[in-house]
């Protein structure tokens, strides 16, 4: 489908700024732009530090959601995990209470300024709350070296990890870590996230045998259809995750998870609970540990409540123009 003219995108654009309940990956207020098109709503929310080359894939995804129908769903609901930011262990129960019915938790580790003891205490607290049958996955966002990752996972393996998400930054490091863990009898599967969504060639994870699971996000891969193609080509179990989206962006992630041929793991799509507000009423948050499949619509009163300041709206409009120019070679 040809990309809509930039004037149409700007006319449909709404920019919102929503505070986070707790900081997540350094973000305290989540800014995103929303588009309303013929098919419904789409979300354009690349993080502020991303340049046009990376952000343009997010715009492609937003336009797909707003201008096209999503692929057919294979299921009516999608199981989701709780998300535990790098909070003190005494706050773990409070955080998990926002995800009723979720029996899987994703725990942030390797936070800047914290150390292995903080990670272990947080993971231990999650295990205590979830009990022995709950699933725990950790996410290091590529912060560890192979040596540090091996040491950390040897320590955290006692908590029966479902997998470790992006423990090291590069695909080669993930491969080396998997081999080292196997040699040393440390049974922690490896999941690739940034090595999929930020890579020029996401299939190198498959080619190098660098992961057991792939984590896919709709917006960074350019939309639901493109993400389905990546999962199919990788041939590995997939977990669909969000990128601190509002419920509009999460609905696109749910559409991807619903369209996958197989869904073996809970998805990281319960993150609307991390926001102090939303643009959808009611927000797309888990019920009995799952999310329903289907379109959502932004509520005018919530758009008005969370509208970003004029200077930020202008910044996002310029960003859309830059991404659109890159995607079309300057042709409208």
The torsion of the CA quartet 314, 40, 216, 137, rounded to 10 degrees, works out to 90
- In the chain, % of residues over pLDDT 70: 99
* pLDDT value of residue 203: 87
Q: State residue 37's pLDDT score.
A: 97
- Joined together, the tokens standing for residue 157 give 């393996």
- On the question of pLDDT at 125 being above 70, the answer is yes
Predicted structure pTM score: 0.91
Q: Is the dihedral of CA 53, 57, 62, 66 positive or negative?
A: positive
Read off the pLDDT of residues 232-254 as tens digits, 9 standing for 90 and up: 999 999 999 998 999 999 999 99
pLDDT at residue 305, rounded to an integer? 98
Catalytic residues: 108, 217
Residue 193 annotated as lining a ligand binding site = yes
Q: How confident is the model at residue 80 (pLDDT cuts 50, 70, 90)?
A: very high
Is 165 annotated for ligand binding? yes
Which pLDDT does position 175 carry in this prediction?
97
Please, what are the domains in the chain?
A: 6-71+300-328 (3.30.390.10), 77-292 (3.20.20.120)
3-state secondary structure of 102: coil
Residue 329 pLDDT exceeds 90: no
Mean pLDDT for the chain? 95
For residues 15-43, give the mean pLDDT. Answer: 93
CB neighbours (10 Å) of residue 118?
Answer: 17
Give the model confidence (pLDDT) of 221-232 as tens digits: 999 999 999 999
* Residue 263 pLDDT > 90: yes
pLDDT one-digit tens code per residue, 268-316: 999 898 899 999 999 999 989 999 999 999 999 999 999 999 999 999 9
Res. 163: pLDDT tops 70: yes
Asked whether residue 207 is marked as a ligand-binding residue, the answer is no
Q: Could you write out the DSSP letters of every residue in 201-258?
A: -TTHHHHTT--SEEEE-HHHHTSHHHHHHHHHHHTS-EEEB-SS--HHHHHHHHHHHH
pLDDT value at residue 149: 98
């Amino acid at each position: 489908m040809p990309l809509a003219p930039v004037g149409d995108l700007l006319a449909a654009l709404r920019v919102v700024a929503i505070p986070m309940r707790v900081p997540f990956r350094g973000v305290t207020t989540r800014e995103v732009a929303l588009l309303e098109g013929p098919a419904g709503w789409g979300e354009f929310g690349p993080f502020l530090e991303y340049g046009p080359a990376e952000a343009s894939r997010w715009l492609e995804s937003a336009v797909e959601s707003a201008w096209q129908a999503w692929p057919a769903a294979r299921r009516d609901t999608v199981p989701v995990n709780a998300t535990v930011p790098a909070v003190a262990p005494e706050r773990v129960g409070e955080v998990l209470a926002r995800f009723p019915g979720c029996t899987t938790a994703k725990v942030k580790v390797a936070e800047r300024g914290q150390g292995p003891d903080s990670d272990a205490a947080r993971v231990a607290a999650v295990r205590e709350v979830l009990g022995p049958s709950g699933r725990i996955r950790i996410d290091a966002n590529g912060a560890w070296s192979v040596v540090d990752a091996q040491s950390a996972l040897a320590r955290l393996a006692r908590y029966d990890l479902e997998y470790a998400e992006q423990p090291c930054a590069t695909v080669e490091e993930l491969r080396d870590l998997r081999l080292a863990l196997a040699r040393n009898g440390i049974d922690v599967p490896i999941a690739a996230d940034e090595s999929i969504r930020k890579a020029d060639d996401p299939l190198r994870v498959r080619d190098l045998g660098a992961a057991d699971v792939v984590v896919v996000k709709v917006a960074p891969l350019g939309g639901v259809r493109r993400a389905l193609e990546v999962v199919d080509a990788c041939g590995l179990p997939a977990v669909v995750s969000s990128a601190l989206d509002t419920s509009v962006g999460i609905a696109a992630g749910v559409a991807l998870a619903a369209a996958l041929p197989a869904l073996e793991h809970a998805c990281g799509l319960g993150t609307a609970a991390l926001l102090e507000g939303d643009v959808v009423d009611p927000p797309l948050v888990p019920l009995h540990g799952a999310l329903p499949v289907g379109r959502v619509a932004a509520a005018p009163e919530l758009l008005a409540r969370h509208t970003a300041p004029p200077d930020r709206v202008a910044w996002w409009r310029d960003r859309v123009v830059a991404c659109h120019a890159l995607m079309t070679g300057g042709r409208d």
